[in-house]
Amino acid sequence: MKLKSRLQDDTLVLEVKGKVMGGPDATIFQNTIKSEIANGHKRFVFDLGGVDWMNSSGLGILIGGLTTIKNAGGDLKLANVTDKIKSLFMITKLVTIFDSYETVEEALKSYQ
Amino acid sequence: MKSTGTERAGFEKLIASSGRGWAEKRVFQELTTTLKSAEKELKSLPAGTVPEERLRALESQLSRLAHLLEHIEEVQRTRLEIHLITQIALSLANALDLQEVLSLIVDSLKQVVDYDAAGIFVVSKDGEEVEGEILRGYETSDRGRIRQKLGQGLMGWAMENMAPVVVADVSRDPRYIMARSSTRSELVVPMFTQGRVVGCLNLESDNLGAYSERDADHLMTFASHAAVAIERARLHREILEKQRMDEELALARRMQRDLLPRSAPKFDRFDIAGVNLPSEMVGGDYYDYIQLTEKDLGIVVGDVAGKGVPAAFIMTSLRAALRIEAFSHYAISTILSRVNDYLCGSTKPEIFVTAFYGVLDTRSGILTYANAGHNPPLLLRADHSRETLSEGGMLLGAFPNALYHEHRVTLAANDILVLYTDGASEAENRAGEQFGVERIEEIVRSAATKGPRQIIRQLLRLIRGHCGEIGLQDDITLVVIQCR
């Protein structure tokens, strides 16, 4: 898993790439989110377009990210959710929890 | 090249401890005596009796003889040292217990270089912890300060620089940390193998200048053998620890297996079979049959995110919570809500479970269920249509206060319900192709006449065949319910 963050329209856009699995990925992800929250960011967009593969522990990472952001009074939108992740969201009913958009731009617009 | 008194004494001791060289010793004594008496004889000659030129030639020959004697002594000494160290190395070769190895080292050390107090310390791979130690000649009250020496004193220096330290007078070395008041000189040698520090040998003497550079060299050779023996003992210990862990895991596996149904309950209208295959020693998948009443059977299939021991812990909690709630409440929606809240309170949001819970009325064939984010079970109708049972609610353990809705289907004659975990549907082959739900359906239908047990056997055989040499990557659970 690779993470790249940038600030756009006062929102932190986190590009997630590669295979998202449990173990060290979970710690890296959590630490990144926590430090961005500590930097004062509240609005997040996870760009999942570059995710090749995600297992159940990877889903756990997204859930953990959402919970951390919500607990800090922030909000999270997802963008470029791949078909594979969409089907995982459907099965697990996470589709009702995550706010997903086709593109990063649409996700950013939803914050306006 | 003139040997000093201490070195001479050391040599005699070496000969004694090696158990060899008595003949050499006699020859040396004889030669030394003869040489000395010849030197004396030469000096006592009255002046003028022998021409000056002749006298100098004789003196030069005697001096050469003395040098040769020292050279032979040097060669002999090295030979004996090698012999002694080989003997010690051999005795160390058979010891596998770390404490036994240390005890052998500290005792044989005394034959190599004498000491009044000695300590051998084995440090962990990161150098942060002391994994083993043995002490000789220290008072119990000194022991606290010995550890301090290891970190900061001469021992710390020797291990950091991977070089021996000879201190002739400890009172003049600022690195020295006192652990014994009578110590006057000290020799510290690091033990390392394959470029990594294993520990160090620390020798203390009550005499000033007790240790020479030569002793340090000698001890370095000894230390390299000691390091190998210690490393071997450590590896042996790791193997033993791994064995113990494996035994504990095997026990955990048996305990977990005992939590799974031993056999499927029997009913007039239904044939039921189930299987759970963990991909590791223990797993996060499970299934359960809960006999609620004579005719009502609770059926659960669950999958904890992740694998191995952490998932197994959650699985055990889920099973207990679900069983308690299933007997306390009638409504499936209530049962899942309560289990969800319980799991939310016990785990971090990253850890979640997907589960399907249904109650089958085995007389009417009505299945009331709620699916908490689990792979939807396949209801394969006798008319070849397929329904998927996905209604219910959120996966369990991540979001408190989630609501669940229950649904009903009726199982009729020759319908087959297949509950599974993603370990079956998403089992991949080397090319990354998943086994797939379609293939599960196809196999179930083709084996339908043989009953649930055979259906499961066939599914497992084909899933294993699909994975090939890469094997199962995830836990697999299957439950097949066939209506007669």
Question: Do residues B63 and B144 both lie within one domain?
Answer: no
- Whether residue B200 sits in one domain with residue B297: no
Do residues B274 and B199 both lie within one domain? no
Half-sphere CA count of A2, side-chain side, radius 13 A:
6
Is A91 in contact with B351 (Cβ distance < 8 A)? no
Domain spanning A2-110, CATH architecture: 2-Layer Sandwich (3.30)
Say if A72 is an interface residue toward chain B (CB within 8 Å).
no
CA A79 to chain B, closest CA, distance in angstroms equals: 20
Mutation site, B350, B352, B407, B434, interface A, largest A CB count within 10 A: B350
Domain count along chain B: 3
Task: Give the contacts of B310 (CB within 8 A, at least 6 positions apart).
Answer: B284, B351
Contacts of B392 in chain A (CB under 8 A): 93
The verdict on B164 and B223 lying in the same domain is yes
Please state, for a pLDDT cut of 90, what percent of chain A lies above it. Answer: 79
Give B106 to chain A, closest Cα distance, Å: 43
Chain A residues in contact with B394 (beta carbon < 8 A): 92-94, 96-97
**pLDDT at residue B2 in the model:** 44
The residue of chain B nearest to residue A64, with distances taken between CA atoms, is: B350
- The domain boundary, picked from B259, B278, B295, lies at B259
- Tell me how close the Cα of B231 comes to any Cα of chain A, in angstroms: 30
Q: Do B305 and A56 touch (CB under 8 A)?
A: yes
Instruction: Tell me the CATH number at B140.
Output: 3.30.450.40
Q: B383 and chain A: CB distance < 8 Å anywhere? A: no
Average pLDDT, chain B: 89
My answer on whether B119 and B81 are in the same domain is no
First-to-final CA distance of chain A: 30
Tally of CB atoms within 10 A around B83: 15
Q: Which of A22, A94, A96 sits opposite B306 (nearest CB)?
A: A22
Task: Give burial (CB, 10 Å; 0-12/13-18/19+) of A13.
Answer: buried
Q: Does B239 share its domain with B104?
A: yes
Which of B303, B349, B390 has the CB atom closest to A63's CB atom?
Answer: B349
Interface residue B52 vs chain A (CB under 8 A): no
Q: Which amino acid is at A76?
A: L
Of B306, B374, B398, the CB nearest to A63: B398
Q: Residue B371 has what pLDDT? A: 98
Which member of A26, A60, A96 has the closest CB to residue B352? A60
**What is residue B368's predicted lDDT score, i.e. its pLDDT?**
98
Q: Which of A87, A89, A67, A74 is nearest to B400 (CA)?
A: A67
Look at the block and give the residue holding tokens 């919500």.
Answer: A70
Query: Strand locations in B17-149, DSSP E?
Result: 117-123, 130-136
Counting Cα atoms < 13 Å in the Cβ hemisphere of B436 gives 9
Q: Whose structure tokens read 């609620």? A: B292
B349 and B446 belong to one structural domain: yes
Is A27 near chain B, with CB under 8 Å?
A: no
Q: Are B478 and B275 in contact (CB under 8 A)?
A: yes
Q: What is the pLDDT of residues B123-174, one digit of tens each?
A: 988 877 888 889 999 887 777 777 777 777 888 889 989 999 999 999 998 8
Cβ neighbors of B369 (< 8 A, separation 6 or more) are B332, B356, B357, B358, B359, B389, B391, B392, B406, B407, B408, B409
> What would the pLDDT profile of B339-382 be if each residue is shown by its tens digit?
999 999 988 888 899 999 999 999 999 999 999 999 999 999 99
Clarify whether residues B254 and B266 are in a common domain.
no
Give the nearest chain B residue to A90 (CA atoms): B373
Residues A67-104: pLDDT tens digits?
A: 999 999 999 999 999 998 999 999 999 999 999 999 99
State how far residue A64 is from chain B, nearest Cα, in angstroms: 5
Pull the structure tokens for residue A15. 């590009």
Tell me, yes or no, whether B181 and B75 share the same domain.
no
Q: Report yes or no: A91 and A62 within 8 Å, Cβ to Cβ.
A: no
Task: List the structure tokens of B132.
Answer: 């083993």
Taking the Cβ of residue B298 and every Cβ of chain A, the question of whether any pair is shorter than 8 Å is answered with: no
Could you give the C-alpha distances from B396 to A60, A77, B109, B287, B352, in angstroms and in order?
A: 12, 22, 63, 15, 6
Q: Report d(CA B170, CA B149) in Å as an integer.
A: 13
Q: Give yes or no for a contact between A79 and A46, defined as CB atoms under 8 angstroms apart.
A: yes
Look at the alpha carbons of B448, B450, B453, B454 in this order and tell me if their dihedral is positive or negative.
negative
**What is the average per-residue pLDDT within B34-51?**
83
Does the reported pTM lie above 0.80?
Answer: no
Domain that holds residue B384: 261-483
In a shared domain, residues B195 and B218: yes
- If residue A92 lies in a helix (H) or strand (E), which one and from where to where? helix A83-92
Rounded Cα–Cα distance for residues B342 and B329 (Å): 15
In a shared domain, residues B138 and B17? no
State whether B223 and B317 are in the same domain: no
Select from B93, B123, B151 the last residue of a domain: B93
CATH number for the domain harbouring residue B400: 3.60.40.10
